[in-house]
Amino acid sequence: MNKLNHDCLTLVFEVIYNDKNSLYPCLLVNRLWCKIAVPILWRNPWEVITKPYGNLEKIKKARIFFNIVLLHLPEESRLLLKSQDTDKTKRRNPLLNYIFNYVFIKNQKIDILKKPQQKPLFNYISFCKYIKYQLFGQNFYEKVFRHYDNRYIKLLEQEIYKLLINKCYNIKCLDTMGVKYPLYKFPGAEICFAKLYELYCSSKDDSSLFYGLAKICRFIERFYIYLTTSNSGLAKLIETQQKVKYLTIRNKISHQFIRGNYGDIGSAVLKHSHNIIYLSLPIENFSPFYNFFFPKFINLKKFKLYNQIFDIFDIELYKNFYNYPKLQVLQINLLYSATFYAVNRIIQESENDLQIISMDFNANLFTDQLLCRISQHCSNLKYLRIDLDDMYLHNFEQVLLNCQSLEGIFIYHYRDGNYLPEIGDNLLKILINSSPLSLFKIDIGSYNIYKIHSLRNFFENWVGRKSMWLSSINIYDYDKMNNDFNEMIEYYKHIGVIKKYKDFCFINVYNEFKF
């Protein structure tokens, strides 16, 4: 029975993993619950630090985390750090040095350079499956330990990496952007990185680091690469993996590099082209490499394209966007002429397989054509996010009529403050008359403002349909009608017309889409 209870609790805790407010109290129920919850919470402690808090709050959480980490330091590391903690180490502020070096845990003041009087209740480090390096774009360690000089910070950083690599078994995700240490040489590296699944890196990183990891890692499936130049070590690491499935490229690179073929990194990626199911990268429209790069990814399921600062387009390029028979999710950022031609071709060749289309930023110039393409070639579409100009409402209505599997819509438009409730009324009428029965997730708050009586008519006509998930709505004459609006929302929630209001976030639909 204890085994069954343990397994059941583990499953329950995994389900509520993203709801930390519900998971944290589980630590206090009893010893068994605590024993199960701690490894789950410590799987990715960096996630808590990097949540969208203010910078000061992030630093505060990072300090708490690192103080716990430092409790696990072996004696040899502690002695090494203590030997360097002399007058030669120029602290930037004696007061800050005192404050940052100590933390009150169970009313005990703990010096991070001394062996703790009491061991932690758990070997927290062993539960970590993620090793991160950056905090809001900067080195974690420089932020947290900025009261020390750079030499001491580097030494401390090195010893923490040694600790993590020696104690963390089967790391899932590693961030090497900016890392200067030969992590593959540290004790325990072969066990720590043997099952590495996800890598965040930069082509600026030391090539020898990638060569070293290439001797250990064989199962990396996800690469997130900040690409600025060629890197033979990174190319080798990519090439030696058994099956790369997810590839994200961000770049800021010279014309000369782009005009080539992404160097040896591009060649290594192409060796996995038939295995890759997720691809996110800029469409560099002046690069002849893409003429044969894109057609290779025949098993893509999610494709994300975005423009760089250039929009000079070789008309021959879009002809090479072949049919992707398994493509289900298409995301487009900065939709200008380059991405438009590519997206137009992909949608046209999709054979009604696309399930999610998301278009960010101003697509106004191409909305008419894109909606026509979606209406004609995406009959199985489930989710649509698009910038909708008022003059194309009739095209949007055709999408509703032809895409009878549609479950969610995110309709927005940038108006520079020029909101007219009559336009919002027109959208509501179209939704009443033409929405498929499958539609229930509706985010139209960023499109326009709405009259309260028009919304009431909209809700009345929704009676008998599937309860909707409705994002936040902006109403006309808010100051006078706010109370009436809130009462109306509560009424329609009570009778089952609205299931969720405000707490529905459309962006999670395609970010959490599973293949």
Tens place of pLDDT for every residue, the chain, 515 residues?
455 588 888 888 888 888 878 888 888 888 888 999 999 989 988 877 776 556 677 777 777 888 888 888 888 887 887 777 654 444 444 444 444 444 333 333 334 555 666 778 888 888 999 988 665 455 566 667 766 777 877 888 888 899 999 998 889 999 998 888 899 999 999 999 999 999 999 988 999 999 999 999 999 999 999 888 889 999 999 999 999 999 998 876 555 555 445 678 888 998 998 999 999 887 654 455 566 677 788 898 998 877 654 444 454 555 566 678 888 998 887 656 556 777 787 888 877 889 999 887 665 667 888 899 899 999 999 999 988 888 889 999 999 999 999 999 998 887 666 777 788 889 999 999 999 999 999 998 888 888 888 999 999 999 999 999 998 888 777 666 778 888 999 999 999 999 988 866 666 665 566 65
- The rounded distance, in Å, linking the Cα atoms of 96 and 113 is 16
Distance CA 476, CA 86 (A): 66
pLDDT at 285: 47
Supply 230's token pair.
């060629």
Q: Which helix (H) or strand (E) holds 247?
A: strand 246-251
Q: What number of CA atoms fall less than 13 Å from residue 65's CA on the CB side?
A: 27
**What pLDDT is attached to residue 13?**
87
What are phi and psi for residue 458, nearest 5 degrees? -60, -45
Interatomic CA distance for residues 128 and 369, integer angstroms: 49
Residue of 378, 407, 397, 404 whose CA lies nearest to 513: 407
3-state secondary structure of 468: strand
171 close to 192: Cβ distance less than 8 angstroms: yes
**Facing residues of 135 across strands?**
138
**436 Cβ contact list (under 8 Å, min separation 6):** 400, 401, 403, 404, 405, 406
Contact (CB, 8 A) for 167 and 69: no
Burial class, 320, CB count within 10 angstroms (exposed 0-12 / middle 13-18 / buried 19+): middle
Is the alpha carbon torsion for 163, 164, 170, 175 positive or negative? negative
CA dist., res. 24 & res. 161, Å (int): 27
- Cβ atoms of residues 395 and 369 within 8 Å: no
